[in-house]
Amino acid sequence: MTQVFVEQTTTQLLGGKHALVTGGAHGIGAAVTQILLAHGARVTMLGRNEDLLEEAVRKFSPLGEIGTAAADITEPKAIAQAFATARQCFGGIEILVNNAGEASSAPFLKTDLELWRRMMAVNLDGTFHCIQASLPGMLSAGWGRIINMASIAGLVGGSYISAYCAAKHGVIGLTRALAVEVAAKGITVNAVCPGYTEGDMFEKAVTNIVAKTGRTPEAARAELLARNPQKRLVQPMEAANAVAWLCLPGSDAVTGQAITVAGGEVM
């Protein structure tokens, strides 16, 4: 369930900035949308589910200027059109948060090409397409913030998630390479790497363990949380706070980093 803190302190530290958040209507993306609005940014939420987008607009519109763009991040032409629509509404995109993603698991020898390609298309190709659609404007403006939502799976290995791990490692490699390329152009590029986070993706992981092992949901949750020194789930707003900090004044020297928000699970 997405956490929503409607009484969050508001600032204008990002006043006038236009942020586009992929997968911005639910989970961590919704928390990112909320916190960027609270800092004064105008936010475009991009996603595939128009009903979900409109529901999020109703929820968050009291916090500031918010719009939507419907597109599948794996489709370059659709992304180009969606970003053009977003720019028509709120001007150039100065902050890009590549949050949309998908996790699927299978033993390596049961990871077929379809699963492999889907993990790459959603988690890595989609990030690439969105950066290509927004970077020219950032270069022209001489300022930009790109935050890629990776995962601790982009930093360490994990059984049964070889395709997802490979894609998220690719996201971090892309983050570091691009950070070097644009370092002198007023643009920072970073990744945020949450651990298991409360929400739909965690519940899908639990359901998958139950289906494949016969364990109870409680046992499956306990197994996943046992790896976390804090013995708890990351909350969506905790990951969103890291995203916001990377956009705010004072973070200008932080680029090419993979920041973990995982309760000490990766050190």
CATH code for the domain of 250: 3.40.50.720
Instruction: Pick the catalytic residue from 164, 178, 196, 246.
Output: 164
Residue 114: its H or E element: helix 113-120
Q: Is 1 part of a structural domain of the chain?
A: no
Q: Which domain holds residue 224?
A: 197-233
Active site residue 164: yes
Angle between helices 162-181 and 126-141 (to 10 degrees): 10
Is residue 266 one of the residues assigned to a domain?
A: no
Residues 165 and 116 grouped into a single domain = yes
82 and 100 assigned to the same domain = yes
119 occurs within a structural domain: yes
Domain assignment present for 243: yes
Domain co-membership, 206 together with 168 = no
- Tens digits of residue pLDDT in 96-154: 999 999 999 899 999 999 999 999 999 999 999 999 999 999 999 999 999 999 999 99
Co-location of 77 and 116 in the same domain: yes
Same domain, 101 and 68: yes
Tens of pLDDT, residues 185-240: 999 999 999 998 987 778 877 877 787 778 888 888 888 888 899 999 999 999 99
Asked whether residue 62 is assigned to any structural domain, the reply reads yes
Residue 21, number of CB atoms within 10 A of its CB = 30
Q: 8 lies in a domain?
A: no
Q: Domains in the chain: how many in total?
A: 2
Tell me whether residue 63 is in a domain: yes
140 within some domain: yes
Residues 121 and 132 occupy one common structural domain: yes
193 touches 151 (CB < 8 A): yes
| 209 and 78, same domain (yes or no) | no
Residue 184 CA to residue 188 CA, distance in Å, equals 9
